[in-house]
Amino acid sequence: MGIVDEVGAGVTLLKKGDRVVMPFNVACGRCLNCEEGKSAFCTHVNPGFAGGAYGYVAMGPYQGGQAEYVKVPFADFNALKLPPGTEHEEDFALLADIFPTGWHGVELSGFRPGESVAVFGAGPVGLMAGYSAVLRGASEVYVVDRVPERLQKAKEIGCIPIDFSKSDPAEQIKALRGGREVDRGVDAVGYQATSADGKSEKPNAVLEALIAVVRPTGGLGIPGLYVPSDPGAPDSASAKGYISFPFGKLFEKGLSIGTGQCNVKTYNRYLRDLIIAGKAKPSFVVSHNLSLDEATSAYDKFDKRIDGYTKVLLHP
Three-state SS annotation for the chain? CEECCCCCCCCCCCCCCCEEECCCEECCCCCHHHHCCCHHHCCCCCCCCCCEECCCCCCCCCCCCCCCCCCCCCHHHHCEECCCCCCCHHHHHHHHCHHHHHHHHHHHCCCCCCCEEEEECCCHHHHHHHHHHHHCCCCEEEEEECCHHHHHHHHHCCCEEEECCCCCHHHHHHHHCCCCCEEEEEECCCCCCECCCCCCECCCHHHHHHHHHEEEEEEEEECCCCCCCCCCCCCHHHHCCCCCCCHHHHHHHCCEEEECCCCHHHHHHHHHHHHHCCCCCHHHHCCEEEEHHHHHHHHHHHHCCCCCCCCEEEEC
What is the chain's mean pLDDT, rounded?
A: 95
- Please state, in angstroms and rounded to a whole number, the distance separating the CA atoms of residues 265 and 68: 24
- pLDDT at residue 15, as a whole number: 97
pLDDT in tens, 226-264: 988 999 999 999 999 999 999 999 999 999 999 999 999
> Using CB atoms within 10 A of its CB, is residue 221 exposed (0-12), middle (13-18) or buried (19+)?
buried
- Give the pairing of strands 160-163 and 182-187: unpaired
- pLDDT at residue 50, as a whole number: 82
Residue 296 confidence (pLDDT) above 90: yes
- pLDDT at residue 307, as a whole number: 83
- pLDDT at residue 64, as a whole number: 80
Assign 65 a pLDDT band (cuts: 50, 70, 90): confident
Position with higher pLDDT, 271 vs 231: 271
Assign 121 a pLDDT band (cuts: 50, 70, 90): very high
- pLDDT at residue 306, as a whole number: 84
Contact between 138 and 155 (Cβ < 8 Å): no
- pLDDT at residue 304, as a whole number: 87
Residue 18 confidence (pLDDT) above 80: yes
Assign 114 a pLDDT band (cuts: 50, 70, 90): very high
Across 52-66, 91-105, 288-302, least confident range: 52-66
- Give the pairing of strands 2-3 and 19-21: antiparallel
Assign 63 a pLDDT band (cuts: 50, 70, 90): confident
- Please state, in angstroms and rounded to a whole number, the distance separating the CA atoms of residues 301 and 207: 27
- Please state, in angstroms and rounded to a whole number, the distance separating the CA atoms of residues 201 and 246: 18
Q: Cβ neighbours of residue 57 under 8 Å, at least 6 residues apart? A: none
Assign 308 a pLDDT band (cuts: 50, 70, 90): confident
Residue 57 confidence (pLDDT) above 80: no
The one-letter amino acid code at 116 reads S
Residue 223 confidence (pLDDT) above 80: yes
Query: What is the mean pLDDT of the segment spanning 278-306?
Result: 94
Assign 270 a pLDDT band (cuts: 50, 70, 90): very high
- pLDDT at residue 66, as a whole number: 86
pLDDT in tens, 151-192: 999 999 999 999 999 999 999 999 999 999 999 999 999 999
> Using CB atoms within 10 A of its CB, is residue 156 exposed (0-12), middle (13-18) or buried (19+)?
exposed
- pLDDT at residue 101, as a whole number: 98
Assign 49 a pLDDT band (cuts: 50, 70, 90): confident
Query: What is the mean pLDDT of the segment spanning 295-309?
Result: 89
Dihedral sign, Cα of residue 258, residue 259, residue 263, residue 267 = positive
Residue 107 confidence (pLDDT) above 90: yes
